[in-house]
A and B are shown apart, each in its own frame.
Chain A
Amino acid sequence: MTFHPDHEALHGVTVVVTGASGKTYVGRYHERTERGVLLHDVGVHDPAAAAHPLAEWLRRQDRFGVKVEHRHLMLPPAEVGDVVPFLDWLAANPALPPHL
């Protein structure tokens, strides 16, 4: 049973969005409009402030779940780079950090 037919294929899927700013976003894709990409329940990796490198941070989001910093986040078009399903990112990056 689905409650949201007629949406994009990524609707409801947790994705990794590469930002032009250098930040990376993990969240549930809602839609893309002229205003940008709207995500729900979003975690953000900011390389300037993060405790872990990006790959390790993403692995932790996979293991423990996405640590939500924004319930809803609209990423403007200029910020949105690649949008990849999180599972696809994980499949393409199978190496585990040693501590996991």
Chain B
Amino acid sequence: MPYPPMLVQPMKDEVTRLGAKELTTIAEVDEVLGPAQGTALVFVNSVCGCAAGNARPALRRALEQSEAKPDVVATVFAGQDLDATHRARSYFGEDYQPSSPSFALLKDGEVVHFIHRHQIEGRTAEAVAGELVAAFGRYC
């Protein structure tokens, strides 16, 4: 059952104000990820305070700090926009297990870097941002 919209909206806003494109429907996901060209960062947002509370600031820091950036930054909200999240995960391939919050960096339709929830827990936003910046520099 999805969370109450009022609960998650501030968490969505924290990401969309960075310029991330919010994807809430299957059609929106397909429109953004379907072409499979260039680089796309998909942030799977979550209400989880333990990890998402660090993931969102990490995304902000990475986008502020990195000269190289993905062509597209998009976000889906796990536990809220269920269909869109499921569809976005279908673009990550069968090997990658569902995880939220998480980051998937795709290049020409293939996952080239993935940060799972367990790789966010217990790390600082700076550390996660550093990993994102390094991935942007390598692939974008």
Contacts and interface: CB of A to CB of B under 8 A. Distances in A.
A86 interface: yes
B123 A12 contact: no
Interface stretch (B15-23, B44-52, B69-77): B44-52
Q: Is the interface of A mostly helix, strand, loop or mixed?
A: loop
B97 A13 contact: no
A68 interface: yes
Contacts of A85: 121-122
A2 interface: yes
B97 A65 contact: yes
- Chain B interface size range: 20 to 34
A35 interface: no
Q: Is the interface of B mostly helix, strand, loop or mixed?
A: loop
A13 B122 contact: yes
A38 B95 CA distance: 26
B53 A2 contact: yes
Contact of A65 (B11, B51, B99, B121): B99
B138 to A, nearest CB: 16
B122 A68 contact: no
Interface string B101-130: 010000000000010111101110000000
A13 B96 contact: no
A24 interface: no
Interface of A: 1-4, 11-14, 62-68, 85-87
